[in-house]
Structure 1
Amino acid sequence: MKIAHVVTYISSDGAFGGPVTVARAHCAALAELGHEVSLLAASDIDRPKRLVVDGYEEVLFPARRFSSKLGFAGMHSPELRSHLKDRARHFDVAHIHLARDMVTLPAAHQFQRDRVPYFAQPHGMIDGSKHPLAPIVDSLMTKRLLEGAQNVFCLTRNEEAEIRALCESASIARIANGVQIAPLPSYGDREQEVLFLARLHPRKRAQAFVHMAELLAPDYPSLQFSVVGPDEGDGSAVRMLIDRIGSPAIQIEDGLRPEDARSRLHAARVYVLPSVGEIFPMTMLEAFAAGTPTVCTDSLGIAEAARNYGAALVTDGSPEQLAEAVRSVLDSDQVAEQLRQGAHDYLLSELDIKDVALGLERLYQDARQSNG
């Protein structure tokens, strides 16, 4: 099959986060199954760019902004829209990593207009937003495109409820995120680093990580606490907090290329994600795959499963509980190994990208056949 995936934005600093990681993993696994796969996105470039990555084609187009106040929702790509106007009908099926933005919504509209079966995967980005523009966008585009999708892929019951509230008639299918699984990496030679690796968005709560580091740093003089990620609104506040604390053990860095981010996860002693309200954070799955003991909060969509498998230490998100959890990993090799093994078991049981790709392949084939 000729398969198109569309995601909002791909950049060298990984600013758009998890949806890009998921889209790339899908594309690589589907290409391995023998399909002709293209991933299309807006990007921080001046002219269209085409490259082959992991057996699939990545086609990037210049991103333009019509509003700096709307973040990614204020972004569009006329070149991508023109490309799809000419090429959408050449694909057998499309998979849109859908958000309320002017990249993926017009892309889904083009596939719908050209009668190409398409699937929508919102990654928790289409929710009960209180933004005053959300109802307008939903009435004009979002609801109709959800209704027209072969399936809307939801990660959790909560996300399914959000989609049902917006579009009761949507055909919802459950899907899991997945990662490439390898043997459990070594741990004894890790750096003395506790790592936050995510976008600096208020939802990610990097400031809670910094407060946690302030509690722990005096007791672990050889340990480094690192905040790493592109600024998505919280960067200045995090930097000011670090400067106020004044500890050389706490540092902040810009976002990394995906391959460098993976290397950093493999080198860390503990990964901490204090975010709230996220559905299925991909950095947690990548930390699991890296064999890095992980600390998270109980508001995540995968918190219950992570707790059941013993894959992560689940906290209420307060700096005090985060610190207590990190301390238990640092002070006990047994705790660290139990978390590493629990995470590996979770990946093997439920989150293998090969199984995800086989499920997508079946759905794509059914849609293609029913479309004639």
Structure 2
Amino acid sequence: MKILHIVTLHTPDHAFGGPTRVALNLSKVQRAAGDDARIMALGDGFEGPLPREIEGVPARLFPARHLLPAFEVSGITSGALLLTALRMMRGADIVHVHLMRDLVTLPAALLALASRTPLVVQTHGMVDPTENRVARLTDLLGVRRVLRRADALLHLTETERLDVNAVAAPVPPARTVRLVNGVRPQEIKPAREPGRPPTVLFLARIQERKRPEDFVAAMPAVLARHPDARFVLAGPDTGALPATLELARALGVTASLDHVGPLGHEEVLAAGRSADVYVLPSIEEPLGVSVLEAMSVGTPVVVTRTCGLGPDVARAGAGRVIDSRVGEDGKNALKVATAILELLEPETNTRTGQAAWNLVNDDFTIEAVTATLRRTYEDVARRSGDRVKRSFPRGT
């Protein structure tokens, strides 16, 4: 099967995060199974020529044109990408668009509809009801049409399904499929050696919505119990780093904080193995891949109830699920610190780490996810059986 994944952006520091990582993970397993899966996106921040391959997956990247700088990622585009996408669609069995309200994935999805190429849309929690006038205009001009006419709509959680339906109603239930994020199984890490200072990890885009300041604000209470603890702040800065580091200075905890910046995929797994607790106090997180990657090596997690993985973590005993609300910084910090301290207790750490590893291997392996996705593709292909494809055009 010939599968074209279209995402908005790929950068050297993986600043765009989730959708691109999901597309890469899916593509790697699909190619290993014999499918011809490829990725198309804008490329930005590279020195020299844009790569033709990402982690072994063939990629068509195009220089990002910042057409509407005020809208950041949503305002970048490339006419060459869209023209090439239309050409490649003619040789694809499935176009899988990782949709957001932007000038890449939305027009690409509309082109797939116009070319009558089977279209699978995955929204990653990025399309929900909003009062933003520009977003509502975008919905009117194209998003609703894509959601209503796509051959399949993939949602991470029931909340996301309801949100998408609220934007695009009516969406036929038969075309909606729950597809969780998945990661590759990993060996479970050994228990922490007695006497080794504990390490607490925040690994995500450093933006206000992820609440890195709650992570830093929790440090004094943890350090009061574990004065030698290390706190690792990892991930690309998307706006919140200066305020986060300034808070660390104001609290006098800079010496215990290691800011390591963005990490590659193998470095992400290594950071998870080195950590004793992973923390993501995000106010809203549909189904964080970074959370799954931490649990995949046996690291217990602290997440919020608004995280899509919260119910799974609570059910499995794979960490702690806390309430976290905007405007309650002091209360949030106390909740984060309490959860960290509980998970640093040796017996609790071992038990919850094993539960985290079991949870990923039972419910969130990339193989299980791609098996579900393959059945969806085949169902879409059957319903579109009169559209026979050949191969991707030469040179793509």
- The two structures share one fold, judged by TM-score above 0.5: yes
User: Secondary structure at 2:133's aligned position in 1?
Assistant: coil
Q: Which residue of 2 aligns with 1:34?
A: 34
2:180 aligned with 1:176: yes
Q: CA deviation at 1:356?
A: 1.1
Kindly indicate whether the alpha-carbon contact (under 8 Å) linking 1:179 and 1:352 is maintained by their aligned counterparts in 2: yes
Runs of 4+ with deviation above 3 angstroms: 45-49, 189-192
Task: Report the Cα distance in structure 2 between the residues aligned to 1:256 and 1:52, rounded to whole angstroms.
Answer: 15
Q: Which residue of 2 aligns with 1:323?
A: 337
User: Secondary structure at 1:9's aligned position in 2?
Assistant: strand
Q: Which residue of 2 aligns with 1:283?
A: 290
Q: 1:363 to 1:158 in 2, by over 3 A?
A: same
Q: Which residue of 1 aligns with 2:382?
A: 369
2:58 aligned with 1:51: no
Q: Pick from 331, 342, 349: which aligns with 1:336?
A: 349
Q: 1:52 to 1:299 in 2, by over 3 A?
A: closer
Deviates more, 1:278-287 or 1:228-237: 228-237
Q: CA deviation at 1:187?
A: 3.2
Partner amino acid, structure 1, of 2:321: V
Task: Report the Cα distance in structure 2 between the residues aligned to 1:104 and 1:279, rounded to whole angstroms.
Answer: 19
Q: CA deviation at 1:79?
A: 2.6
Q: How does 1:25-174 map to 2 (within 5 A)?
A: 25-44=25-44, 45=46, 47-51=49-53, 53-54=55-56, 56-170=57-171, 171-174=175-178
Kindly indicate whether the alpha-carbon contact (under 8 Å) linking 2:13 and 2:264 is maintained by their aligned counterparts in 1: yes
Uncovered stretches (5+) of structure 1, i.e. residues with no partner: none
Kindly indicate whether the alpha-carbon contact (under 8 Å) linking 2:316 and 2:355 is maintained by their aligned counterparts in 1: yes
Task: Report the Cα distance in structure 2 between the residues aligned to 1:187 and 1:76, rounded to whole angstroms.
Answer: 47
Q: How does 1:238-317 map to 2 (within 5 A)?
A: 238-247=244-253, 248-317=255-324
Q: CA deviation at 1:147?
A: 1.2
Deviations 1:278-316 (A, max 9, x none): 111111100011211211112212211110011121112
Q: Pick from 338, 362, 366: which aligns with 1:353?
A: 366
Task: Report the Cα distance in structure 2 between the residues aligned to 1:167 and 1:191, rounded to whole angstroms.
Answer: 51
Task: Report the Cα distance in structure 1 between the residues aligned to 2:315 and 2:88, rounded to whole angstroms.
Answer: 46
Partner amino acid, structure 1, of 2:21: T
Q: CA deviation at 1:351?
A: 0.9
Kindly indicate whether the alpha-carbon contact (under 8 Å) linking 2:42 and 2:62 is maintained by their aligned counterparts in 1: yes
Partner amino acid, structure 1, of 2:192: G
Deviates more, 1:171-180 or 1:187-196: 187-196
Normalising by structure 2, what TM-score? 0.89
Q: 1:304 to 1:197 in 2, by over 3 A?
A: same
Q: What is the total number of aligned residue pairs between the two structures?
A: 370
Task: Report the Cα distance in structure 1 between the residues aligned to 2:89 and 2:269, rounded to whole angstroms.
Answer: 33
Deviations 1:254-294 (A, max 9, x none): 22223322221221121111101211111110001121121
Kindly indicate whether the alpha-carbon contact (under 8 Å) linking 2:316 and 2:356 is maintained by their aligned counterparts in 1: yes
Q: 1:151 to 1:274 in 2, by over 3 A?
A: same
User: Secondary structure at 1:70's aligned position in 2?
Assistant: helix
Task: Report the Cα distance in structure 2 between the residues aligned to 1:268 and 1:52, rounded to whole angstroms.
Answer: 27
Q: CA deviation at 1:52?
A: 6.0
Q: CA deviation at 1:6?
A: 1.1
2:194 aligned with 1:185: no
Normalising by structure 1, what TM-score? 0.94
Deviations 1:38-75 (A, max 9, x none): 01111114655312634x32222211212332221111
Q: 1:72 to 1:221 in 2, by over 3 A?
A: same
Task: Report the Cα distance in structure 1 between the residues aligned to 2:219 and 2:131, rounded to whole angstroms.
Answer: 33
Q: 1:275 to 1:52 in 2, by over 3 A?
A: closer
Task: Report the Cα distance in structure 1 between the residues aligned to 2:341 and 2:79, rounded to whole angstroms.
Answer: 50
Q: 1:183 to 1:260 in 2, by over 3 A?
A: closer
Task: Report the Cα distance in structure 2 between the residues aligned to 1:124 and 1:346, rounded to whole angstroms.
Answer: 22
Uncovered stretches (5+) of structure 2, i.e. residues with no partner: 325-331, 387-396
Kindly indicate whether the alpha-carbon contact (under 8 Å) linking 2:10 and 2:43 is maintained by their aligned counterparts in 1: yes
User: Secondary structure at 1:133's aligned position in 2?
Assistant: helix
Deviates more, 1:319-328 or 1:183-192: 183-192
Kindly indicate whether the alpha-carbon contact (under 8 Å) linking 1:47 and 1:62 is maintained by their aligned counterparts in 2: no
Task: Report the Cα distance in structure 2 between the residues aligned to 1:299 and 1:86, rounded to whole angstroms.
Answer: 40
Task: Report the Cα distance in structure 2 between the residues aligned to 1:85 and 1:22, rounded to whole angstroms.
Answer: 23
RMSD between superposed Cα atoms in Å: 1.7
User: Secondary structure at 1:275's aligned position in 2?
Assistant: coil
Partner amino acid, structure 2, of 1:228: A
Task: Report the Cα distance in structure 2 between the residues aligned to 1:187 and 1:32, rounded to whole angstroms.
Answer: 33
Task: Report the Cα distance in structure 2 between the residues aligned to 1:187 and 1:110, rounded to whole angstroms.
Answer: 51
